Structure 1
Amino acid sequence: MEWLLILLIGLAASALGSLIGLGGGIIVVPALLFIGTFGLPEVSPQVAVGTSLFTMIFTGMSSTIGYIKHKTIDYKSGLLFLIGSAPGGIAGAYWVKFLDVQAFNFYFGTFILLVSFVMVIRNKIKPLPFNKETGYVRTFTDPSGNTYEYGFNPFVAIAVALIIGFISGIFGVGGGSLMVPAMIIFFYFPPHVAVATSMFMIFLSSIVSSVAHIALGNIDWLYAALLVPGAWIGARGGVYLNQRLKSKTIVLILRIVLVIIGVRLIVEGFAG
C-alpha cells in the first residue's frame, strides 16, 4: 500500500507539473520529506531534491514528447532561456550558503504571492519592448482559436532568465515557477506555449542537475523506480489536459499553485 502511495505521488505531481509547466518537484520534494510518517524509510532533504530532479527527467521527457505532437514548444526560446537560467542556477546554489535562507524564504514567498497577483492584471501590463526586425517574433493560435503575437530581444531574455535562475537556485524552487509567469507577463507568451517550452527546459536542465546528484549519491533508487512510472503517465495526462483547457483556465491553475508555493515559503521562513 505504501509503495502504491509513492506511485500515485509521482502520477499527481507530474500531471500537475506538465499541465502548468512547473515540473512537479513542488509536490515530490515535500512528499518524500514526510514519507516516514507512512512507515517508509525517511530521506534527507538532499536525497529528496536529488530523487525529485531525477524523476523530473522523465516528467520532462514525457511532456516534451507530448507537446512536440501538438507543436506548442518554442525550441529557440527555450534554449535561449537556458543559456541564462543554467549559470544563474549554479550561481544561486553557490551563494545560498552566504544567506539567511529562512529570512529570504519569507521575502521570496511574499514575492511569489505578488507574482500571482500580477498574473491577475497581466492583460493591463505592456510586454517588454523589442524591435520586431532584429528581435525574435512568433505567432500562435491556441485551441480556443485565439491568435497571439509574442517576441523578445534575445539579450533581454537571457538576462531575465539569468536572474530567474539565480533566484531559483537560492530558494530551491523549480525555475518554472517563475519562468512561466515571466514568459507570459514580460514577453506575452501564450500560456500553452509558455508551459510547453518550460517543460522542454526542465527536461534538459534536470539531466544536468541529476548528474551532479548521482555523483553525490543523493538519489534513492528505490523511490525513484516507483516515482518514474507515475511521472511518465502523469505527464502525458497533464499534456492531454493542457491541450483541452482554455488559456484563462491554465493561468488560473498556475496562480493557485503559485499561491501555494508562496505560502509554503513564508511558513518555512517563520519556522526557521
Structure 2
Amino acid sequence: MKHSNMKHSKLMKHIKYMLIGLITGAANGLFGSGGGTIVVPAMIMLLNVEEHKAHATAISIILPLTVVSAYLYVSNNLVNWEITLPVMLGGMAGGYLGAKLLNICPAKVLRKIFAVFMILASFRMLTA
C-alpha cells in the first residue's frame, strides 16, 4: 500500500510540473514573454522551491520556450530586427548583471522587487 501511495504522489508531482510548464509555455508564446511571472510564483507556492532557486530555474525553463516561440515569430516574419538586435545586446548585459545581483540579494528583498515589478506591469497593462 505504501509503495502505491509513493507512486501516486510521484505521478501527481509530475502532473503538477507539466501543468505549470504548459501554462508557462502558453503565456510565453501568447504574450511574447511573461513566463517568469507565472513559473516563479508557481514554483515558490506550489512546489516549495526556495526563492533564489525559483528565479534561477525559471530562466532555464523559459529558454527553450522562448526558442520555440522565437522560431515561430521569425518564420512568420513578425520580428523587427532593427529593434531586436540592440535590445538583445542590452538584455544580455542586463541578464548577466541580474544573475550576479541575484546571488547577493536577500530573498525578502528579491520577493518585494519582483512584487513591485509585477504590480507596475499589471497597472501599465490595465491603463494602456
Calculate the TM-score normalised by the size of structure 1: 0.41
* 1:225 and 2:69 are equivalent in the alignment: no
> Which residue identity is paired with 2:41?
P
Aligned-partner Cα distance in 2 for 1:248–1:202: 23
Q: In the TM superposition, what are the counterparts of 1:1-272 in structure 2 within 5 Å?
A: 135=10, 153-166=13-26, 168=27, 172=31, 173-268=33-128
What letter corresponds to residue 108 of structure 2 in structure 1? Answer: K
Higher strand share: 1
- Structure 2 vs 1, CA of residues 222 and 250 (structure 1 numbering), >3 Å: closer, same or farther? same
Q: Is the 8 A contact 2:25 2:65 kept in 1?
A: no
Which structure exhibits the higher relative contact order, with contacts defined as CA atoms closer than 8 Å and separated by 6 or more residues? 1
Alpha-carbon distance in structure 1 between the residues aligned to 2:70 and 2:36:
17
Distance 1:176 1:244 in 2: 20
Q: Deviations over 1:109-152 (max 9, x none)?
A: xxxxxxxxxxxxxxxxxxxxx9599539xxxxxxxxxxxxxxx7
* Structure 1 pair 183–242 and aligned structure 2 pair: CA distance change class (3 A): same
Tell me which moved more, 193-202 or 235-244: 193-202
Cα deviation, residue 163, structure 1: 3.8
Percent sequence identity is 22
Greater helix proportion: 2
Root-mean-square deviation (Å): 2.7
Which deviations, in whole Å up to 9, do the C-alpha atoms of 1:232-263 show, x marking residues without a partner? 11111000100001111111111111111221
Q: Describe the shift of the 1:237–1:247 C-alpha distance in structure 2 as closer, same or farther (beyond 3 A).
A: same
* In structure 2, C-alpha distance between the alignment counterparts of 1:240 and 1:153, rounded to whole Å: 31
Question: Against the structure 1 CA distance between its residues 170 and 217, is the aligned structure 2 distance closer, same or farther, given a 3 Å change threshold?
Answer: closer
Over 3 Å counting, the alpha-carbon distance change for 1:163 and 1:225 in structure 2 is closer
Mark the CA change 1:153 to 1:189 in structure 2 (over 3 Å): closer, same or farther.
Answer: same
Cα distance, 1:161 vs structure 2:
3.3
Using a 3 Å threshold, how does the CA distance of structure 1 residues 171 and 256 change in structure 2: closer, same or farther? Answer: farther
Report deviation, 1:177. 0.8
Of 258-267 and 157-166, more deviation after overlay is shown by 157-166
Counterpart-to-counterpart distance in 2, 1:229 and 1:243:
22
Question: Is the partner of 2:34 in helix, strand or coil?
Answer: coil
Instruction: Please give the TM-score of this superposition, normalised by the length of structure 2.
Output: 0.81
For 1:189 and 1:170, how far apart are their aligned partners in 2?
A: 24
